[in-house]
Amino acid sequence: MSSSRPAAVAGTFYPADRQRLSDLVDRLLQHANALLPEASGMAPVPKAWIVPHAGYRFSGAIAASAYARVQFGAQTLRRVVLLGPSHRVGIPGIAVPSVSAFDTPLGSVPLDQDNVQALLSLPCCVAADEPHAKEHSLEVQLPFLQKVLPEFQLTPVAIGAASRDQVAAALKQVWGGPETLILISSDLSHYHAYEEAQRLDEQSSRAIMSLAPGRIRSRDACGWRGVNGLLQQASDLGLTPSTLNVLSSGDTTGRRDRVVGYGAWTFSADAVTVDKGITEADETQLLELARKSIACAVAGKPVPRVAVGTFAAALQRPGATFVTLTKGGRLRACLGSLRAFRPLVLDLVERSHSTAGKDARFPPIRRDEVADLHMEIAILTAPTELHFKSAGDLLEQLLPGTDGLTIEDQGHRATFLPKVWSEISDPARFLARLRQKAGLSQDHWSATIRAWKYQTRSFGTALHTRNRAITPPVKLD
């Protein structure tokens, strides 16, 4: 058994020369980056994706439109689950390889052996290298992934005659948390005239956007089994689909007699909203969770592990939180997240622990002062970027007392939560103090300054109370 699968389609689907391949992927990503909406980096990276797998001259630009967004998860994503159709070898279900790595001209990608073993526990999965040896649907994704993710482990899955339920079960087995990216590799219709391909691909796009598993057939997409399995899982989890791009080889090469369709879609968990979905009982549970995490920090223990699935659905959705500790009405520590990129409960546990010991403005919280501290949790809405020509124009778009504000310029960034309005009610002074917090002069202005506003849902309690029992109990692993 070879320890690594060598690249099989280098020189045909993409350049075999390392430098040529690197330059080509860089160009494709740079073009895609230029087309990204503003503030794309502030949005959560979607959980699952459908991406095309033809030669780069045909579908590379469409694939790049997806991977340009994946790059914003570089700090979080450590595992990639990649499913694609087995084009050359028949499989009764799905197959994972026995090798330890997949190679491309850009280097070697280690396989996620824990995920491989988890899949092998399913009756539909076998260990087989032959389906993977010449398969292009998985390989062509790797150079893009190697460019946008600095470090990750791969779970490659070749799909044969697997049912929709079997594919969905495989996805559930390795779905993971915010560290895991799910990719379904599939092209769309094959070898129709341009207008017919457009019609068929539009139907497929509507089925995908409707989360309608079973409506994608073999004539619609070569990876139809993987797509339908993902649609079932996305429907079960209530994920929101979004279309990035749908084109064909007729658009990318100009030949319109026998074309192949390509598309890219994302599937995201809805972020937590501040005005619905979270109950008072949830607030109580979050406060207790934050207390326990702070207690771990004060005792010198690591961040507690959280069983995400034991919490209400609203608390499992992506959420950005801030945790503020005050003592005698004065700020003692405050840290948080500006972007929702992981389950709310995980974000809160991390931020609570950091607030107690890693706010560089203050010394760590001591055990003997816990009884005097008050804790407040703020859950943030998704940020909205503001467009303005002057400081006055920016301030006119803010609602004092309601809007939080983040500014960024020249590598400096800072935010004020809405509660800061209670201390600084004058908008001009609010902005001046925020500039100062960011490490800029209070009257700083430039053509490159950017700003986002957001709102919060806040609730708090004394950090230490005699009776802290809650129902249902917080469950930590």
Q: How many CA atoms lie within 13 A of 183 on its CB side?
A: 29
Percentage of the residues of the chain whose pLDDT score is greater than 90:
76
Domain residue spans in the chain?
4-268, 271-377+458-477, 382-454
Q: Which pLDDT belongs to residue 469?
A: 34
Query: 392 exposed, middle or buried (CB, 10 Å; 0-12, 13-18, 19+)?
Result: exposed
**Average of pLDDT values for 291-299?**
94
Per-residue pLDDT band for 471 (boundaries 50, 70, 90) equals very low
Average pLDDT of the chain is 90
Q: How far apart are CA 418 and CA 431, in angstroms?
A: 12
Q: How far apart are the first and last CA of the chain?
A: 38
Percentage of the residues of the chain whose pLDDT score is greater than 70:
94
**Average of pLDDT values for 351-378?**
94
Q: Which pLDDT belongs to residue 39?
A: 53
Spell out where 388-449 has E strands. Answer: 404-409, 412-416
Q: How far apart are CA 338 and CA 322, in angstroms?
A: 8
Q: Is the pLDDT of residue 276 over 70?
A: no
Retrieve residue 124's tokens. Answer: 């539909």
Q: Is the pLDDT of residue 42 over 80?
A: no
Q: Which pLDDT belongs to residue 214?
A: 84
CATH superfamily of the 382-454 domain = Hypothetical protein ph0010; domain 2 (3.30.1490.150)
Q: Is the pLDDT of residue 467 over 60?
A: no
CATH number assigned to the domain covering 271-377+458-477: 3.30.700.20
Q: Which helix (H) or strand (E) holds 266?
A: strand 259-268
Q: Model pTM?
A: 0.61
Indicate the fold that domain 4-268 takes in CATH.
Answer: Protocatechuate 4,5-dioxygenase; Chain B (3.40.830)
Q: Tell me the pLDDT tens digit for each residue of 202-246.
A: 999 989 998 888 899 999 999 999 999 999 999 888 788 889 999
Q: Which helix (H) or strand (E) holds 321?
A: strand 320-327
